[in-house]
């Protein structure tokens, strides 16, 4: 499709006020040390024992520092820690790919101070009451104890008392691709119902010592870190999820025409772009959350940390050649098929430039309207929602609200010579 002349809405840059209470690096270290002692791990772990520490693939705030501090605390007991990837099928479902994923999060052997033992081999621990097989990473089960660390947040595919956090990491992450496939094959309701049951089965049948749950503020900073004893995983996570949802940033409108997303990525969300932010799910039996309702989503690029895994591109309606040229189809298809969400990896209509993508959305996917009436927003990614660009029609609705600051006034959208947005 060749470029064509079309008037675009003017855009302004705004800042919305979000919950802000970062621990900072020093605070993260102190919190992990405090919680490690509070739940009695200094006494439960014996000198000479081998302790497996599970780390996932998400861009959890300060996760490398959390893991590093856990390694140091385990060493203080005289035990021997190692880290294992607890990320289901991510990293192309290969041991090497999962180590590479950890490296992009700053979790390397040189930084954390211990070995990383990565394998896709699992041991079956039996089945749940519903007949779901229960698997656990072979290296982890051979250790004397297991500790996991993960962020508590709303899941991108379903709503429940327990969504994304410690129980999900146990139920899907530590069981590698086999566990991920077994649970995801049951759809969104299967995730909701089986994550707590499979997680509890692992707690009952393996030597899980503790979980370290983090909660983030609206700016993607760790704001709380809580050590959780295995007998308290479910109860504690139910309460922490309520708190995490309260802090979760959102787009400032519930209904609008166009959302331009500068980048998607596995380090941003398990679904590439967070379904809780964009409102789309596109899984069998579950197409969307009640809000927001967005007519057209345009995805422009993919993070380097994704290593070509373009899961989430299928949540958009339009994309550009820059993103598509980075797609690793093996990694993408492995992830979306394991997760029973093939639409997440479907490549949408692909345009040659950002300008052409926006023009196409207005010309073909919206009803005819004056540019000043088009409700359009542009965000960096679904984790970064404090500063965003909004069109004239959106600005009119927002500028009188509390917590909204106009940073730059309305101006024409600027592109470089190749048609890319500045």
* CA angle at 306 for the pair 62 and 132, rounded to the nearest 5°: 85
pLDDT for the residue numbered 144: 98
Q: What is the pTM of this model?
A: 0.83
Could you give the count of Cα atoms lying within 13 Å of 325 in the half-sphere of its Cβ?
7
Q: Which residues are 95's β-sheet partners?
A: none
pLDDT tens digits for range 340-368: 789 999 999 999 999 999 999 999 999 99
Percent of the chain residues past pLDDT 70, beyond the cut: 98
pLDDT at 317 > cutoff 90: yes
Q: Which residues are 15's β-sheet partners?
A: 387, 405
Mean predicted confidence (pLDDT) in 192-205: 92
pLDDT tens digits for range 75-127: 999 999 999 999 988 888 899 999 999 999 999 999 999 999 999 999 999 99
pLDDT tens digits for range 13-27: 999 999 999 999 999
pLDDT for the residue numbered 206: 96
Q: Which residues are 104's β-sheet partners?
A: none
Q: Is 334 helix (H, G, I), strand (E, B) or coil?
A: helix
pLDDT at 339 > cutoff 50: yes
Q: Which residue has the tokens 């799910």?
A: 281
Q: Which fold has domain 24-247?
A: Rossmann fold (3.40.50)
pLDDT for the residue numbered 186: 75
Mean predicted confidence (pLDDT) in 233-262: 95
The rounded mean pLDDT for the chain is 93
Q: Which residues contact 377 (CB under 8 A, 6 or more apart)?
A: 251, 253, 256, 258, 259, 260, 388, 389, 390, 391, 394
Q: How would residue 2 be classed by pLDDT, with cut points 50, 70 and 90?
A: very low
pLDDT at 9 > cutoff 60: yes
DSSP code per residue over 366-383: S-S--GGG--EEEESBTT
pLDDT at 138 > cutoff 70: yes
Q: How would residue 287 be classed by pLDDT, with cut points 50, 70 and 90?
A: confident
Mean predicted confidence (pLDDT) in 378-405: 95
Could you give the count of Cα atoms lying within 13 Å of 335 in the half-sphere of its Cβ?
33
What span, in angstroms and rounded, lies between the C-alpha atoms of 103 and 57? 10
pLDDT for the residue numbered 4: 56
Question: SS3 helix, strand, coil % of the chain, rounded to 5?
Answer: 35, 25, 40
Mean predicted confidence (pLDDT) in 205-231: 97
pLDDT for the residue numbered 289: 85
Q: Where in the chain is the domain with CATH 3.40.50.11440?
A: 24-247
Closest CA to 69 of 102, 22, 113, 24: 113
pLDDT at 243 > cutoff 70: yes
User: Pick the residue with more confidence: 328 or 188?
Assistant: 328
Q: How would residue 1 be classed by pLDDT, with cut points 50, 70 and 90?
A: very low
What span, in angstroms and rounded, lies between the C-alpha atoms of 420 and 310? 20
Could you give the count of Cα atoms lying within 13 Å of 74 in the half-sphere of its Cβ?
27
pLDDT for the residue numbered 183: 84
Asked, as a colleague might, if the bond just before 405 is cis with ω within 30 of 0, I would say no
Give the least confident one: 262-266, 338-342, 395-399: 338-342
Closest CA to 384 of 261, 288, 241: 261
What span, in angstroms and rounded, lies between the C-alpha atoms of 419 and 422? 9
356 sits in which H/E element: helix 354-364
pLDDT at 265 > cutoff 60: yes
Mean predicted confidence (pLDDT) in 235-254: 95
| Structure token pair of residue 110 | 């040189």
Percent of the chain residues past pLDDT 90, beyond the cut: 80
Residue 68: count of CB within 10 angstroms of its CB = 22
pLDDT at 266 > cutoff 90: no
pLDDT for the residue numbered 5: 62
pLDDT at 185 > cutoff 90: no
Q: How many helices and strands, by DSSP H and E, does the chain display?
A: 15, 18
């Amino acid at each position: 499709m060749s470029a064509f002349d079309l008037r675009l809405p003017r855009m302004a840059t705004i800042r919305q006020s979000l919950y802000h209470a970062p621990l900072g690096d020093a605070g993260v270290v102190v919190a992990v040390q405090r919680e490690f002692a509070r739940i009695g791990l200094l006494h439960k772990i014996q000198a000479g024992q081998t302790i497996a520490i599970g780390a996932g693939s998400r861009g959890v705030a300060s996760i490398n520092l959390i893991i590093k501090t856990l390694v140091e605390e385990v060493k203080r007991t005289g035990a021997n820690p190692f880290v294992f990837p607890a990320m289901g099928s991510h990293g192309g479902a290969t041991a090497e790919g999962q180590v590479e994923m950890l490296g992009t999060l700053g979790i390397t052997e040189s930084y954390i101070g211990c070995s990383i033992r990565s394998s896709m081999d699992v041991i079956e621990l039996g089945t749940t009451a519903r007949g779901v097989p229960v698997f656990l990473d072979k290296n982890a089960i051979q250790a004397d104890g297991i500790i996991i660390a993960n962020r508590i947040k709303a899941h991108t595919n379903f709503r429940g008392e327990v969504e994304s956090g410690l129980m999900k990491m146990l139920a899907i992450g530590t069981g590698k691709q086999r566990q991920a496939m077994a649970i995801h094959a049951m759809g969104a309701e299967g995730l909701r119902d089986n994550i707590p049951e499979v997680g509890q089965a692992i707690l009952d049948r393996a030597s899980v010592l503790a979980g370290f749950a983090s909660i983030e503020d609206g700016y993607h900073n760790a704001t709380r870190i809580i050590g959780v004893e295995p007998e308290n995983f479910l109860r504690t996570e139910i309460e922490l999820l309520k708190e995490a949802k309260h802090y979760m940033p959102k787009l400032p409108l519930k209904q609008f025409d166009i959302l331009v997303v500068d980048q998607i990525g596995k380090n941003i969300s398990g679904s590439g772009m967070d379904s809780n932010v964009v409102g789309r799910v596109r899984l069998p039996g579950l197409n969307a959350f009640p809000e927001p309702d967005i007519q057209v989503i345009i995805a422009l690029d993919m993070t380097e940390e994704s290593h070509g895994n373009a899961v989430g591109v299928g949540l958009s309606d339009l994309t550009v050649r820059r993103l598509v040229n980075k797609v690793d189809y093996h990694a993408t298809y492995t992830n979306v098929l394991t997760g029973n969400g093939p639409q997440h990896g479907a490549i949408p209509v692909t345009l040659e430039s950002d300008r052409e993508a926006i023009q196409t959305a207005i010309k073909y996917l919206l009803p005819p309207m004056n540019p000043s009436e088009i409700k359009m927003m542009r965000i960096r990614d679904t984790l970064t929602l404090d500063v965003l660009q909004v069109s004239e029609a959106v600005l009119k609705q927002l500028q009188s609200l509390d917590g909204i600051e106009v940073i730059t006034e309305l101006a024409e959208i600027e592109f470089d010579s190749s048609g890319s947005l500045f």
